[in-house]
């Protein structure tokens, strides 16, 4: 559990934590982002976790497969260097 800031929505704070874990490699590409595990870890409602995941999906950090779950997206392909 984290100490939530009272002046920001919890889902935003959780999205920040997940974003940091993805950027830091703690959650590698194709890692299953389990709603159930996050509900237990952060002690919030499942809808709060879903809002955080939705935000990260909109940013392209997570993708969702129906009936399987949400996973960390692979890093974007590097642009080929111009000659």
Q: Residue 48 sits in which domain range? A: 10-72
Q: Is residue 3 part of a domain?
A: no
All residues at 6 or more sequence positions from 57 whose CB lies less than 8 Å from its CB, including other chains: 63, 64, 70
pLDDT given for residue 81 in this prediction: 54
Q: Is residue 32 part of a domain?
A: yes
For 42, half-sphere exposure in the C-beta direction (CA atoms, 13 angstrom radius) is: 23
Query: Looking at residue 30, which CATH number applies to its domain?
Result: 1.10.10.10
pLDDT tens-digit profile of 23-72? 999 999 999 999 999 999 999 999 999 999 999 999 999 999 999 999 99
Q: Is residue 80 part of a domain?
A: no
How many domains would you assign to the chain? 1
- Read off the pLDDT band of 1 (50, 70, 90): low
Q: What is the 3-state secondary structure (H, E, C) of 19-77?
A: HHHHHCCCCCCCCEECHHHHHHHHCCCHHHHHHHHHHHHHCCCEEEECCCEEEECCCCC
Q: Is residue 41 part of a domain?
A: yes
Q: Is residue 35 part of a domain?
A: yes
**Percent of the chain as helix, strand, coil, to the nearest 5:** 40, 10, 45
């Amino acid at each position: 559990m984290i100490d939530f800031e009272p002046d920001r929505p919890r889902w935003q704070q959780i999205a920040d934590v997940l974003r940091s874990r993805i950027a830091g490699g703690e959650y590698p590409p194709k890692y299953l982002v389990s709603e159930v595990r996050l509900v237990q870890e952060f002690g919030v409602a499942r809808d709060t976790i879903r809002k955080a995941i939705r935000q990260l999906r909109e940013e392209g950090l997570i993708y969702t497969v129906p009936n399987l779950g949400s996973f960390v997206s692979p890093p974007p392909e590097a642009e080929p260097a111009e000659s």
